[in-house]
């Protein structure tokens, strides 16, 4: 995620709003969709309703990611596309393998589309501002629902009412990432300029903890 100090009197200009929103959505919507897949793959057959709910989230985030990819073509920073935070050269292969092993269909065509994204020039298309604002809002609403679902799973696990193959720490970890996504979307929706120094500090602290947890228990999340 990149946050620039492109501000006018503390208000984020349209160009920066569109770039930052699309960069943020391309990064986090994939993460939310993949986390939903982890959840779906972790329940027992008796908890099929939980599996179905997780698959609903996976498909809904996939639909929002599709919108972000369409809007992002020509409107997202080159640095974001080159960073490996949207897709890497391993994403498609990993999805194909995961699909084969789990039997859950994954949208590999969307991944191929992401690999073909064209970066923005100096100025992005201002006509998409409204669509980007709507995308941000839909992402906020859906991610809030996902946070509630993760909390329900965690509470069920901690009270020994629900079994999943995911560790409780994984649920805490992925819920924390969802909460950060909501927080950053809400800042963008208010067109709040972000203090780059403060932002770098907060992001560093947040992701250091997340990466430490990845090293503790997760190959990918």
Q: How far is the CB of 57 from Fe ion (least distance, A)?
A: 16
Six-digit token string for 107: 């949208």
In which region does residue 74 sit, left (phi positive, over 0), alpha (psi from -120 to 50) or beta (all else)?
left
Q: How far is the CB of 181 from Fe ion (least distance, A)?
A: 12
Nearest to 142 by CA among 169, 117, 178, 115: 178
Phi, psi of 25 (to 5 degrees): -65, -40
Q: How far is the CB of 174 from Fe ion (least distance, A)?
A: 6
On whether the CB atoms of residues 147 and 175 are closer than 8 A, the answer is yes
Q: How far is the CB of 116 from Fe ion (least distance, A)?
A: 26
Q: How far is the CB of 214 from Fe ion (least distance, A)?
A: 6
Q: Indicate the residue among 11 and 172 with the shorter CB distance to Fe ion.
A: 172
Nearest to 169 by CA among 112, 216, 220: 216
Q: Indicate the residue among 1 and 221 with the shorter CB distance to Fe ion.
A: 221
Rule CB under 5 A: which residues touch Fe ion? Answer: 210, 221
Q: Indicate the residue among 14 and 210 with the shorter CB distance to Fe ion.
A: 210
Taking each helix axis from N to C end, the angle separating 168-189 and 196-217, rounded to the nearest 10 degrees, works out to 160
Phi, psi of 94 (to 5 degrees): -65, -40
Residue showing the smallest CB distance to Fe ion in the complex: 221
- Report the alpha-carbon angle 5-115-150, nearest 5: 70
Q: Indicate the residue among 104 and 221 with the shorter CB distance to Fe ion.
A: 221
Q: Indicate the residue among 199 and 213 with the shorter CB distance to Fe ion.
A: 213
């Amino acid at each position: 995620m990149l946050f620039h100090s492109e501000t006018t009197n503390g208000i984020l200009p349209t160009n920066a709003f569109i770039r930052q929103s699309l960069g943020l959505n391309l990064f986090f919507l994939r993460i939310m969709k993949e986390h939903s897949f982890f959840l779906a793959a972790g329940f027992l057959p008796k908890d099929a309703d939980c599996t179905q709910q997780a698959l609903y989230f996976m498909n809904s985030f996939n639909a929002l990611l599709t919108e972000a990819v369409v809007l992002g073509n020509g409107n997202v920073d080159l640095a974001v596309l080159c960073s490996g935070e949207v897709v890497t050269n391993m994403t498609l292969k990993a999805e194909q393998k995961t699909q084969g092993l789990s039997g859950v269909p994954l949208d590999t065509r969307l991944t191929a589309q992401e690999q073909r994204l064209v970066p923005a020039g100096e100025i992005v298309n201002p006509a998409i501002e409204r669509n980007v604002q709507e995308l941000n809002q839909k992402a906020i609403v859906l991610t809030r629902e996902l946070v509630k679902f993760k909390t329900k799973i965690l509470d069920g696990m901690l009270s020994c009412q629900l079994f999943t193959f995911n560790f409780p720490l994984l649920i805490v970890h992925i819920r924390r990432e969802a909460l950060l996504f909501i927080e950053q979307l809400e800042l963008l929706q208010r067109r709040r300029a972000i203090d780059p120094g403060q932002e770098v500090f907060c992001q560093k602290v947040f992701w250091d903890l997340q990466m430490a947890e990845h090293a503790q228990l997760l190959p990918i999340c």
